[in-house]
Amino acid sequence: MKEGKRWRTAAIFYSIGGIIFIIVGAIGGRIGVFLPIGIALVILSMAFWQRSKKLTYNEQEDSSE
């Protein structure tokens, strides 16, 4: 269970960082610099979130047997 929570926490932090980069790029007018970084971080957070769900599902499946 701890492994899934670690991935979920990483996903949350990456998504927060990505959103901050997107907002800073939009407010500061430097969209060309900050927007790609923000999008990349949000995509990474989605991948981490999916990994956490997969690990949590596998752990629940193992414990029920």
| DSSP letters spanning 9-31 | HHHHHHHHHHHHHHHHHHHHT-H
Structure-derived torsion over alpha carbons of residues 32, 36, 42, 45, reported in degrees to the nearest 10: -150
Entry pTM: 0.79
Query: What are the C-alpha distances in Å from 64 to residues 3, 26, 39, 51, 53?
Result: 18, 48, 38, 20, 17
Q: What is the pLDDT of residues 7-64, one digit of tens each?
A: 899 999 999 999 999 999 989 888 888 999 999 999 999 999 998 888 777 777 666 6
